[in-house]
Amino acid sequence: MPNATATPPAFRYQGWSLFSLLAALVLLMTVMILIINPDLTEGVRSAIRATARSSFVLFLLAFTASAFAVLVPSPLSKSLVRERRFIGLAFAFSHLIHAVLIYWYGQLNTEFWPGRTALGNVPGTVGYVFVLLLALTSFKSTTRLIGATAWKRLHTTGMWVLAAIFAYSNFKRIPMSDWYVLPFGLICAATAIRLMGKLAQANKRQSLQRVA
């Protein structure tokens, strides 16, 4: 008989079905933005902004999942940890759409790429390298291939690098618009939450060692 006291999952969609739902929502959002904008160039530009935000939200969920599970144990936080891999893959998919839109915008607006500098492209390039590496190593076969230790180092480093790039990207745009204070504040708060989660885990391990 099934366990009547078992805690039901917080997410109705799990695993690849959750990834498919999130990916479909990103695609639907992108298509709708392109449809409702009469000017294609401006529509692509708006879709670039929208996918940057969807990527940011998905990254924050993956970045803080383990910390919330420690700091605020609940069915929701446990589900976030369990589905973190698929949320991370949805983030990679959203950022792939973001990259395609940027390339498309460069084709529509011929002044876009010449107006950028090599130095200005460095953060985005580094970010996409890590997004690709994290996505490719989010499968059991590639995890076994590189080993658990290397996998953990790569994903820990990658998440912190991406957090730093998100922080820098939003901070440098604050003079353009006060709106960027919000995402910059959110990434700072997410960083603090993740650090507190790591500290709480370390304290818990020390307490268990003293008891043992």
**pLDDT surpassing 50 at residue 1:** no
**pLDDT surpassing 90 at residue 4:** no
* Rg of the chain, C-alpha, whole Å: 19
Tell me the percentage of the chain whose pLDDT exceeds 70: 92
Q: Identify the band that residue 137 occupies on the pLDDT scale cut at 50, 70 and 90.
A: very high
- Residue 22: partners with Cβ closer than 8 Å, 6 or more residues away: 58, 86, 87, 90, 93, 94
Contact assessment for residue 68 and residue 197, using Cβ atoms and an 8 Å cutoff: yes
State how far Cα 91 lies from the chain centre. Answer: 5
Residue in 15, 139, 127 with CA at minimum distance from that of residue 79: 15
pTM, 2 dp: 0.89
**pLDDT surpassing 90 at residue 36:** yes
Report the C-alpha gap between 206 and 85 in whole angstroms: 28
Task: Kindly report the CATH number that applies to the domain delimited by 15-211.
Answer: 1.20.120
Average pLDDT, the chain: 91
What would the mean pLDDT of 68-89 be, rounded to a whole number? 92
